[in-house]
Structure 1
């Protein structure tokens, strides 16, 4: 029985998010088991974010120059698979940093490159992007719940082994896909990137304001991603409960994304990002004061705003405001900004503050959410709704 193209992408997304759903909540737990302090954990994530900012667009550009993104993805997944195995031989800050740098160069381009390929095939009618992408969120939930339930009995090294397993599946997934050279560049820009035009695009004030606004909303998750699990553990929550809380946030996110069409039709990109920032103000302010357990599932519902609305907002802006031939370039640059310098700065600050203030560090994320709302409002004022001249 032959797998449809949609199922092949679903398999790739599932593998990516199986690893991601383990890495985000539980990699800090593994780092702590190796004796790293909160400051060192925050520093690792911050350094990784800064390096990612420079390397992710370069790797994506080189892949486009090569004209064979799937073959490049096979190389990237092979290198990251080996690097994840090497984690098991490390035991202190500097060796872990060395492995993380390899991961930072070769790992982050995998997701935006896969998105660019999937969006290209979706635009040509070969698959429904939302259905394929949804399986990634399902895998994320499975990882949250499964690893959370087993972590206490199997130990922190389980985190690395699950990430490695996801890497094996991810490596295999790209052998189910193939490079299609005919007409690819005409569909979405994949396979033909004009570097000079990309530079002009990212220097556009409109692009920069929208990218900064959305990236800032995403960066408000820095404390949650780096220290959320550790903080909940310090409050006495079990690993399985913590995994369930992470999973519940993603369930609500998936529901919103699945029902997103009327929301996107009603609100413009700036409003979506502004609403996401408003959700962040509420979510992180309350989280700073260690609310009672019964309120945590309610607060986790706000992940649908702080993550999903911001994602929908910037994706709509990229579709409506960026010339089609620069769509994949803009996506890679935005991804580098969102997961790079803005997130890196927020994560570094989180590590510094968390050692001294614990959960009150969430208030710094509240301040960043306020800044994101301001940027979204500015974007609404300066963008005329048309294409940016790349």
Structure 2
């Protein structure tokens, strides 16, 4: 909901593309701080289970001010605060999943597909609400979704050592950035994921230009559907290709996807590009988490996931979102063309990702 439609919500409030890009970039900078600094610190002082109980309520509190946004300055301020808090669940869930996968309690890919399934439901539900009631309904829907997450987090769970993991805190970050293979994997993933900036900021707007309003959610949901299929099938067959190959594939597919969006001007072309999300996003995400699962000590998983969410999904995304916002006035096609060039750079870094265990 927030990732797919928030650009549309801001546009409905009268904000210009450069203002939308700036607000999204501010949110992503907040994300970088939250997941890169705050999350490792929290996991050093609290178990994963305790964080899963408490953090969703903090996110609910951070979402409420969206009801009162009035003007560009307030939009940026609220975006930054929400950006610090709501992404904390991302590295938290990934830490739980990779720790449990390392212990043989679950398979990462199929488990991660459940998150994609939830994204699918949210995309369709939010899209239908917008088509029927307008973009203004997104504010209340976002708060309600955050509240549902918080309540769900209170449900009892089976005892597991994977939920009792405490991280090494910020010191773990220092250890990781001294490992060349990890840094190469992080940089490659950051470039590829960062290239999604124009899509996340203006994808819903672009879709609304190419298809009728009632079809927008159906077109947008194709991305998480393809992501779901990728993760659900990510067992031995997919994982056997290796981290480097997955990163190269992710970069190449992302470059092709954004190039297609830069030149295609019909709904069918946009729909096809959505299917490529399985490669541009899911393959890249899977590659990084395979590296963490297999090459990083469990005590450093929180630091690794925090860095990924901070750098790849935060700082890199913020930088390229700002760039996309600057280029967008010349046409959304130009913004996507720039992101295609960015994605290609990921291929240059992938060969430096080497196994150390």
Q: What is the CA–CA distance in structure 1 between the aligned matches of 2:40 and 2:236, rounded to whole Å?
A: 34
Counterpart among 73, 81, 95 of residue 94 in structure 1:
73
Counterpart among 90, 95, 113 of residue 111 in structure 1:
90
Counterpart among 197, 212, 236 of residue 222 in structure 1:
197
User: Secondary structure of the residue that 2:259 maps to in structure 1?
Assistant: helix
Instruction: Confirm or deny that 1:292 pairs with 2:266.
Output: yes
Instruction: Mark the runs of 5 or more structure 1 residues left unpaired by the alignment.
Output: 1-21
Tell me how many residue pairs correspond in the alignment: 357
Native 8 Å contact 1:188 1:325 kept in 2 = no
Counterpart among 219, 230, 233 of residue 208 in structure 2:
233
The aligned residue for residue 330 of structure 1 is 304
Native 8 Å contact 2:44 2:169 kept in 1 = no
Q: What is the CA–CA distance in structure 1 between the aligned matches of 2:76 and 2:13, rounded to whole Å?
A: 12
Q: How far off its partner does 1:328 sit?
A: 2.4
Q: How far off its partner does 1:188 sit?
A: 9.0
Which stretch shows the higher mean deviation, 133-142 or 250-259? Answer: 133-142
List aligned pairs for 1:160-239, cutoff 5 A. 160-177=139-156, 184=161, 190-193=165-168, 195-235=170-210, 237-239=211-213
User: Secondary structure of the residue that 2:223 maps to in structure 1?
Assistant: helix
Native 8 Å contact 2:64 2:143 kept in 1 = yes
Instruction: Confirm or deny that 1:24 pairs with 2:14.
Output: no
Which stretch shows the higher mean deviation, 257-266 or 281-290? Answer: 257-266
Native 8 Å contact 1:56 1:105 kept in 2 = yes
Q: What is the CA–CA distance in structure 1 between the aligned matches of 2:253 and 2:97, rounded to whole Å?
A: 29
Deviation string, structure 1 residues 266-287 (Cα, Å, up to 9, x no partner): 3111110001111012111111
Give the TM-score normalised by the residue count of structure 2.
Answer: 0.92
Q: What is the CA–CA distance in structure 2 between the aligned matches of 1:106 and 1:148, rounded to whole Å?
A: 24
Q: What is the CA–CA distance in structure 1 between the aligned matches of 2:202 and 2:58, rounded to whole Å?
A: 28
Q: How far off its partner does 1:101 sit?
A: 2.0
Counterpart among 77, 82, 87 of residue 61 in structure 2:
82
List aligned pairs for 1:257-336, cutoff 5 A. 257-336=231-310
Native 8 Å contact 2:90 2:309 kept in 1 = no
List aligned pairs for 1:355-366, cutoff 5 A. 355-366=329-340
Q: What is the CA–CA distance in structure 1 between the aligned matches of 2:130 and 2:167, rounded to whole Å?
A: 45
Counterpart among 15, 40, 43 of residue 36 in structure 1:
15
Deviation string, structure 1 residues 101-134 (Cα, Å, up to 9, x no partner): 2212221111211222244345445555555433
The aligned residue for residue 9 of structure 1 is none
Give the TM-score normalised by the residue count of structure 1.
Answer: 0.84
The aligned residue for residue 54 of structure 1 is 33
Native 8 Å contact 1:70 1:179 kept in 2 = no
Q: What is the CA–CA distance in structure 1 between the aligned matches of 2:302 and 2:167, rounded to whole Å?
A: 10
Instruction: Tell me: CA distance 1:122–1:206, structure 2 relative to 1, closer, same or farther (3 Å).
Output: closer
Q: What is the CA–CA distance in structure 2 between the aligned matches of 1:243 and 1:71, rounded to whole Å?
A: 35
Instruction: Tell me: CA distance 1:188–1:371, structure 2 relative to 1, closer, same or farther (3 Å).
Output: farther
